[in-house]
Structure 1
């Protein structure tokens, strides 16, 4: 093998090695992500199915995180401040409409924002539905404040009363209610007076495409090896070098 061919082969080998290592590393990373996602799904399912526990109070708020607290099955008691509710526009399995978000005042003086459930357009106005008075106990799932809305949703516009994401801090600041929990609670499917709002619509679903991603990256790594083997064959280093094509006269 002449020196120029050897240098070319070394360069090709180095490039192939880098590409193969990159694809393989991405595949391995996706395998780790797959296990992480499976563990997350199992943990969330366990929280949802567990017996309801009291919602975290002010002393526990600094320790609340999405990783360990989202979708916890909780219960909370207090008085709904119906005059301060907001309606969040949201597409649901029942069609487009609004989630009714109502602050709840607890006996300790703190507030928790409650997603009481879904109402269609014709039930958006509070005057069209009954509102519970006095002390109530609500059971549901602890949800973390949303800094992003659903796909294609717009930013909240508090001045016009148009809301598109369940941003706890923004809602409670607009209403001037403090101190407030850094989470909200999705009420369960317990029927409300008059049938509205409709609770229990929490979607507990996580997209999990990590296995397909891993297989794709590993396939690309194998493709790199196959292409490298073909180059070696053409260079005469491995296998039988294909005969040169003859020009047709």
Structure 2
């Protein structure tokens, strides 16, 4: 008879520790993302979610798309109404792609990939191109691991299904 109360107490204590750990992660994420941008260093392994500042030019000839991806928003911007999200959603969803553009860093000759944002499928031609040298501030993100349920990206095409290392 003591097994149920003892196990429930143990699970409750575990949840409190887990909650405190999550609060620590949220505080760390907030501190990291709100910090002032730093110049892009050579090694970025420990800069996940850190703001970096870099100057250079976009290379639109090698631009790729990641998707299709639904717009992640709690309301439809065109009508202002709440939208439900999910597998069995009855609301209309807006599909599009993340536009990933290579960015040639000024000074060291390296090229980084920049997620320029989400755009609706029918609005690709309206997406603005920045000409010449520009300075950008972005957040460092690492490569994603492909989920077993996501289609493999095919090399040579300008369409990817997840963030991946192109080496």
Give yes or no for TM over 0.5.
yes
SS in structure 2 of the partner of residue 32 of structure 1 = helix
Q: Partners of 1:145 and 1:76 in 2: how far apart?
A: 20
Q: What is the Cα deviation at residue 129 of structure 1?
A: 4.0
Alignment-derived partner of residue 112 in structure 1: 112
- 2:165 counterpart of 1:154: no
Distance 1:29 1:86 in 2: 44
- From 154, 162, 166, the counterpart of 1:165: 162
Name the structure with the higher helix share. 1
CA contact (8 A) 1:99 1:118 kept: yes
Give 1:131's aligned residue: 129
Note the 1:53-132 alignment, pairs <5 A: 53-55=38-40, 57-58=41-42, 60-61=43-44, 64-65=45-46, 69-89=47-67, 90-92=69-71, 93=73, 95-106=94-105, 107-124=107-124, 129-132=127-130
| Whole-angstrom CA distance in 2 between matches of 1:74 and 1:157 | 30
Structure 1 unmatched ranges of 5 or more: 1-12, 174-249
- 2:160 aligned counterpart, secondary structure: coil
Query: 1:128: Cα distance to partner?
Result: 5.1
The two structures have a TM-score, normalised by structure 1, of 0.51
Report which of the two structures shows the higher radius of gyration computed on alpha carbons.
Answer: 1
Cα offset for 1:31? 1.3
- 1:46 aligns to 2:31 (yes or no): yes
Query: CA RMSD, aligned part only?
Result: 2.6
Change (3 A) 1:103 1:160: closer
Gaps of 5+ in 2: 78-93
**Cα distance in 2 between the residues matched to 1:164 and 1:103:** 17
Aligned partner of 2:84 in structure 1 is none
Determine the C-alpha separation between the residues in 2 that align with 1:133 and 1:147.
Answer: 33
User: When you count strand as a share of all residues, which structure comes out higher?
Assistant: 2
Distance across 1 between alignment mates of 2:8 and 2:154: 45
